[in-house]
Amino acid sequence: GQNIDQPTEMTATEGAIVQINCTYQTSGFNGLFWYQQHAGEAPTFLSYNVLDGLEEKGRFSSFLSRSKGYSYLLLKELQMKDSASYLCAVRGGSGGYNKLIFGAGTRLAVHP
Amino acid sequence: DGGITQSPKYLFRKEGQNVTLSCEQNLNHDAMYWYRQDPGQGLRLIYYSQIVNDFQKGDIAEGYSVSREKKESFPLTVTSAQKNPTAFYLCASSNLGTGLSYEQYFGPGTRLTVT
């Protein structure tokens, strides 16, 4: 089967750091994406990992361990506007087909 | 500006009626996708298309139909056979391949309510 697990909800304080974990079991692996989605809006791309290690992009970093089927998204210097859902998605399949398998998302609430 | 448009943003229908959701992209992407999102659940793939005049079923295709007559357009019809059609529908597009530039870009979504 194919399964992606993330915590349902998290809370954090403005200015702090938060780590959102994602574990996956999929039949194929061609990379892992993190998307941000504000309520009622479209998901927007945050990061992509295909090799093990840490990818840093400004206040956001994403880590991947393929052997453990594990990723995390790290958000630093939290701002109120970071309150959103964060979706972990694994790309599977082959032959150029870009199929994404999504987790249910983690709803992050940032408080003053 | 390049992007994906979906219309309308909100749609209301009576049970038993078919309804078509539009999706247009001007990103020159080969692949297009339709997802459904329900509260507390991840995005689930309904249909996808990699080339004009060709499309494949995703994980939850029952009660839905699509067409891909033009590269830019991928409309989704929610038929009366779909038992729980009320949901947030998202259209996406991408280039084909497995590199970073092949991330999916999403439209703003259509919230369909059937009563």
Most B-contacting residue of A98, A100, A101, A102 (CB-CB within 10 A), to test interface: A98
Look at residue A71 and tell me whether its pLDDT is greater than 90. Answer: yes
Shortest CA gap B81–chain A (Å):
25
Q: Is the model's pLDDT at A94 over the cut of 60?
A: no
A80-93 pLDDT, tens digit each: 999 999 999 998 75
Here the tokens at position A21 are: 């974990």
Q: How far apart are CA B10 and CA B55, in angstroms?
A: 26
Residue A42 predicted with pLDDT over 70? yes
* Of B57 and A27, more confident: B57
- Neighbouring residues of B64: CB distance < 8 A, sequence distance ≥ 6: B34, B46, B47, B76, B77, B78, B79, B82
**Cβ <8 Å between B109 and A41:** yes
Using pLDDT thresholds of 50, 70 and 90, give the confidence band for residue A97.
Answer: low
Shortest CA gap A17–chain B (Å): 24
- Comparing alpha-carbon positions, the chain B residue that sits nearest to A106 is B40
Residue pair A30/A93 in contact by the 8 Å Cβ criterion: yes
Q: Do A98 and B31 touch (CB under 8 A)?
A: yes
Is B105 in Cβ contact with A41 (below 8 Å)? no
B41 to chain A, any CB pair closer than 8 A? The answer is yes
In this prediction, residue B66 carries a pLDDT of 98
Nearest neighbour of A102 by CB, restricted to B42, B95, B96: B42
- pLDDT the model gives residue B1: 61
pLDDT per residue as tens, chain B (115 positions): 669 999 899 999 999 999 999 999 999 999 999 999 998 788 999 999 999 999 999 989 999 999 999 999 999 999 988 999 999 999 999 988 766 768 899 999 999 999 9
CA A93 to mean position of chain CA atoms: 19
> Which residues of A fall within a CB distance of 8 Å from B94?
98
Question: Nearest CA to B26 among B72, B69, B91, B75?
Answer: B72
Asked if A29 reaches chain B (Cβ–Cβ under 8 Å), the answer is no
- The interface residues of chain A toward chain B in range 55-74, judged by CB-CB distance below 8 A, are none
